[in-house]
Amino acid sequence: MPIAIQKKLFNITILLIFYFVLFCLIATSSNLKIFDRINGISDFANTLKANYLEKTNYLIIENRLLYSSLSYYLKNSNKILLTPHNPKNKITSHFHLSGPLKPYHNKNFIFIGNPDSLNYLEKNPRAIKQEEVNVKFFNNSIKIYEVVF
């Protein structure tokens, strides 16, 4: 490859890296609405871990985007993330395959979502609302429940 082409490729690569780093810096510190999906998730994960996940290893999350984000932030912890899925219903997310909450689950857990999605569990758990949180990265408020058997 001629040297002139190598220099152009090198300059383009450096420029792309610069723009990527600039985008990341803006995205993580910006108040612009378009970046709200990623702002604050790490703070929420740390708060959740400190306030609710000390007593249990199970975190059940109904929303797949929230599940995905929290699984990234909690990947190095010993917490088990699952998602509610009634085996009689159609699978609508790969999380229903990789981390479903089984109908016979009988250990207490922290739940984020609508408690009605737990009606398929064999034992009738009691969902005790702990908190309702408003965060930037999620359109609706996040309802946190402690589920006990």
For the cut 50, the answer to whether the pLDDT of residue 9 exceeds it is yes
Q: What average pLDDT score do residues 128-143 get? A: 86
Q: What is the pLDDT of residue 29?
A: 61
The percentage of the chain sitting over the pLDDT mark of 70, rounded to a whole number, equals 87
Q: Is 73 left (phi over 0), alpha (psi -120 to 50) or beta?
A: alpha
Query: Which residue type, as a one-letter code, is found at position 145?
Result: Y
Q: What average pLDDT score do residues 113-126 get? A: 93
For the cut 50, the answer to whether the pLDDT of residue 36 exceeds it is no
Q: What is the pLDDT of residue 144?
A: 95
Which position has the token pair 């790969």?
Answer: 94
Name 29's bridge partners: none
Q: What average pLDDT score do residues 4-29 get? A: 81
Q: What is the pLDDT of residue 102?
A: 94
Could you give the strand order of the β-sheet that contains 142-148, starting from the edge strand earlier in sequence?
100-101, 80-84, 58-61, 109-112, 142-148, 126-133
Poorest-pLDDT segment among 29-33, 129-133, 140-144: 29-33
Name 142's bridge partners: 133
Distance CA(142)–CA(129), nearest Å, equals 11
Who's near 63: CB < 8 A, 6+ residues apart? 112, 113, 138
Q: pTM of the predicted model, to two decimals?
A: 0.70
Q: Tell me the per-residue pLDDT of 46-96, one tens digit each, with 9 for 90 and over.
A: 889 889 998 899 999 998 888 888 988 888 888 999 999 988 888 777 777
Domains of the chain by residue range: 3-30, 41-148
Distance CA(77)–CA(71), nearest Å, equals 10
Poorest-pLDDT segment among 92-101, 116-125, 130-139: 92-101
